[in-house]
């Protein structure tokens, strides 16, 4: 699983989801709490703030105790939980929270059929994995239905009043507020090819500014710089062994009750499995006997008639994010790569939930 100790985002009860706490949110650290002297206030203020005459000492009361002047009420100090919520909302409004988000907690990434445990030879592990997969899918469907029919609205209610009954029904059933779960596979395919072409050309910053997120951009820049000036690469996609497939889809809505349905802020995450045959050709500049630099192929493998090394099978799980801030749609961007959820991941998560050590069987 993506994170065994991450807080659960969606609940199957009828209560609204809790505020999601981003674990790696460096953009909005918690505010420091006020000091003890500021929290308890200074000396009591003058009970006669608008009087120009000097204050007289208080007369002794006829009762047992002296009369004490009532101090001016100090403003209440927000609790740490409230301060955290305020900072989180500010980060969501600015988009910093979604920019720092990694793989969502409890993300279940489906294995292909050929890599799943066999029902005949390893029934227990296969059953454990399938139950975890079905539980994750049911929770995702319930969360999407909750957001679709109770939280999100694609239009302002003023624009819906004039619609006919059939138009209202179509609006409520088929307008999904930019949830592109059925389109993201083809979107990811084009972005995937664009990313590797730019990486081969060494122009990642110029071509991928609106395609990949900041952390992945830094990683690609480092890969380009590590080649040096004397080497260049070419990348070729031979064929797709299977169509890109969405193996995980999640919607994170940190505070659904804080805004109108048509001005919500949320994050879509999709994991797409890519299976293809690719070839990479490397060129390096070497000085010949005459002192002239000439390019030659640096691949150690045997080359075909076109001068390309043999293509290799590549299977990658690409994580994509798309944020919506105050109802304004963003664009899909590649966060990076991840791995599918294995039986070992499921068992590790179950041990964590049950409080068992790693070595103890379930």
Q: Over the stretch 181-199, which tens digit does the pLDDT of each residue have?
A: 888 999 999 999 999 999 9
Could you tell me the residue ranges of all domains in the chain?
A: 105-354
Residue 28 has pLDDT above 70, yes or no: no
Distance, in Å, from the CA atom of 192 to the CA atom of 235, rounded to the nearest integer, reads 12
Annotate 28-57 with b (16+ C-beta within 10 A) or e (fewer): beeeeeeeeeeeeeeeeeeeeeeeeeeeee
What is the arithmetic mean of pLDDT over 84-106? 72
* Contact present, 115 and 109 (Cβ < 8 Å): no
CA torsion angle 52 58 61 66 (round to 10): 130
Q: In 3-state terms, what secondary structure has residue 315?
A: strand
CA distance 333 to 208: 9
Supply 33's token pair.
């709490």
Contact by Cβ (8 Å): 334, 213: yes
Rounded-to-integer distance, Cα 22 and Cα 92, Å: 11
Q: Looking at domain 105-354, does it have CATH number 3.10.20.740?
A: no
The token pair that represents 65 in the structure block: 């105790």
Assess whether pLDDT exceeds 60 at residue 14: no
Q: Of 226, 313, 330, nearest to 268 (Cα)? A: 330
Contact 306/299 with Cβ under 8 angstroms?
Answer: no
| pLDDT at site 177 | 62
Q: Are 280 and 238 in contact (CB under 8 A)?
A: no
- The residue-averaged pLDDT of 86-108 equals 74
The confidence score (pLDDT) of residue 270 equals 95
Q: Is-contact 362 344, C-beta < 8 A?
A: no
């Amino acid at each position: 699983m993506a994170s065994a100790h991450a807080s659960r985002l969606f609940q199957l009860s009828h209560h609204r989801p809790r505020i999601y706490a981003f674990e790696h949110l460096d953009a909005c650290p918690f505010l420091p709490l006020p000091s003890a002297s500021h929290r308890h206030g200074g000396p009591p203020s003058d009970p006669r703030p608008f009087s120009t005459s000097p204050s007289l000492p208080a007369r002794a009361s006829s009762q047992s105790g002296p009369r004490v002047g009532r101090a001016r009420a100090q403003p209440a100090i927000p609790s740490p939980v409230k301060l955290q919520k305020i900072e989180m909302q500010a980060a969501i409004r600015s988009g910093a929270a979604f920019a720092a988000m990694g793989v969502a907690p409890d993300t279940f990434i489906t294995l292909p059929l050929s890599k799943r445990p066999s029902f005949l030879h390893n029934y227990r592990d296969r059953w454990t994995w399938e139950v975890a997969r079905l539980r994750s899918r049911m929770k995702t469907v319930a969360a999407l239905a909750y957001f679709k029919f109770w939280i999100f609205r694609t239009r302002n209610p003023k624009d819906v009043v004039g619609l006919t009954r059939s138009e209202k029904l179509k609006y409520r059933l088929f307008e999904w507020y930019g949830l592109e779960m059925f389109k993201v596979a083809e979107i990811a395919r084009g972005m995937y090819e664009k990313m590797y072409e730019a990486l081969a050309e060494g122009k990642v910053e110029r071509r991928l500014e609106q395609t990949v997120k900041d952390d992945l951009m830094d990683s690609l820049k480092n890969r380009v710089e590590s080649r040096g000036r004397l080497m260049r690469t070419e990348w070729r996609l031979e064929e797709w062994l299977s169509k890109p497939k969405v193996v995980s889809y999640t919607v994170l809505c940190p505070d659904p009750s804080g805004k109108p349905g048509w001005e919500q802020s949320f994050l879509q995450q999709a994991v797409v499995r890519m299976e293809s045959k690719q070839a990479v050709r490397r060129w390096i500049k070497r000085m010949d006997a005459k002192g002239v630099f000439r390019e030659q192929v640096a691949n150690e493998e045997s080359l075909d008639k076109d001068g390309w090394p043999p293509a290799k099978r590549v299977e990658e799980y690409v994580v994509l994010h798309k944020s919506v801030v105050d109802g304004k749609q963003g664009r899909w961007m590649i966060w990076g790569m991840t791995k599918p959820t294995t039986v070992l991941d499921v068992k590790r998560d179950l041990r964590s939930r049950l409080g068992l050590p790693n070595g103890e069987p379930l």
